[in-house]
Amino acid sequence: MAYSVLSDVWLLPAAWAVLVAWLVLFLGRGAFWRADQRLPPRESNPRRSWPEVTAVVPARNEAEGIGACVTALLRQDYPGVLRVIVVDDQSTDGTAKCAREAARQMDASSRLEVLTGAPLPENWAGKVWAMDQGVTAAGPVPLLWFTDGDIVHGPDVLRRLVTRIEDRDLSLVSLMVMLSCRGFWERLLIPPFIFFFQMLYPFPWVNDPHRTLAGAAGGVCCCVGRHSKRSAGSPPCVPHASMTARWQHC
């Protein structure tokens, strides 16, 4: 009986605490739960000029998926100039060969550059080091598009990324890709992961200059202006970073 009384005593305060916590999240975290930060429709604002873009793909032992990735990049329905750089980060499975073969089959070898990554320096994370080498090889291109070797983009992704950047004068646009869920537990756990990611880094806060914690940009699909990239302190300025960058509107 004592146990039952004790449970009843704490039940109501616990319920109120949970309610208050959810109200704070609902009202005070940038309405993250709306998930309304999306790219515009393809023809939302037709334009006359399109900036040159270089896609940088850091790849280590991605032979299984790099062919599909390169094919999707080279098939982008982008009116401007698009060049693709794959940085083969010390792969042992023929990643570079598969990337070149994919471009050759499309008769697009001239638009693909495959770099052999240099050995990893001290205090650098592998992916960030590969990205830095790709950025150096890209030269002074207006826009850099970072993606991974196991990502397959739809044909209008780049056009819509650039439209959003140009229309709103943004420094960076990053997309959450559709993750492959093959088993029961993956299908169960991935949606909550996305939900809590938006709760930690509310997307609507990204362009609020009064927010010290603005957002997190994932390297799986990240289009960024080169001038903003250097000024924001992203790779290569942060060699040990485990994420592409944390961004606040410049």
Residue 67 falls within a domain, yes or no?
yes
Residue 63 falls within a domain, yes or no?
yes
- For 60-74, what is each residue's pLDDT tens digit? 999 999 999 999 999
- For 30-43, what is each residue's pLDDT tens digit? 777 777 677 777 66
15 plus 124 within the same structural domain: no
16 plus 72 within the same structural domain: no
The domain that contains 76 carries what CATH number?
A: 3.90.550.10
Predicted confidence at residue 114, as pLDDT, reads 97
Residue 185 falls within a domain, yes or no?
yes
Q: Which of the four pLDDT bands, split at 50, 70 and 90, describes residue 5? A: low
Q: Which of the four pLDDT bands, split at 50, 70 and 90, describes residue 239? A: low
Is the pLDDT higher at 177 or at 3?
177
Residue 143 falls within a domain, yes or no?
yes
147 CB burial (10 A radius; 0-12, 13-18, 19+): buried
Q: Using CA atoms in the order 43, 49, 52, 55, what is the torsion angle rounded to 10 degrees?
A: 0
76 plus 25 within the same structural domain: no
Q: How far apart are the first and last CA of the chain?
A: 62
Report the domain count for the chain.
Answer: 2
- For 79-128, what is each residue's pLDDT tens digit? 999 999 999 999 999 999 999 999 999 999 999 999 999 988 887 777 88
Residue 240 falls within a domain, yes or no?
yes
**Matching residue, tokens 């940088």:** 56
* Cα–Cα distance for residue pair 131/146, rounded to 1 Å: 8
Residue 233 falls within a domain, yes or no?
yes
203 plus 241 within the same structural domain: yes
105 plus 13 within the same structural domain: no
119 plus 195 within the same structural domain: yes
In this structure, what DSSP letter does residue 155 have? T
18 plus 127 within the same structural domain: no
Question: Please, are residues 119 and 145 in contact by the beta-carbon 8 Å criterion?
Answer: no
95 plus 183 within the same structural domain: yes
Question: Please, are residues 162 and 80 in contact by the beta-carbon 8 Å criterion?
Answer: yes
The continuous run of DSSP H or E covering 69 comes out as: helix 63-74
160 plus 67 within the same structural domain: yes
Residue 232 falls within a domain, yes or no?
yes
114 plus 21 within the same structural domain: no
Phi then psi dihedrals of residue 112, to 5 deg: -115, 135
DSSP notation for 159-198 = HHHHHHHHHHT-SEEE--------SHHHHHHHHHHHHHHH
Residue 178 falls within a domain, yes or no?
yes
116 plus 238 within the same structural domain: yes
- For 161-218, what is each residue's pLDDT tens digit? 999 888 888 888 888 777 777 888 888 887 777 778 778 888 777 777 777 766 667 7
22 plus 145 within the same structural domain: no
Q: Which domain holds residue 82?
A: 53-246
Predicted confidence at residue 4, as pLDDT, reads 58
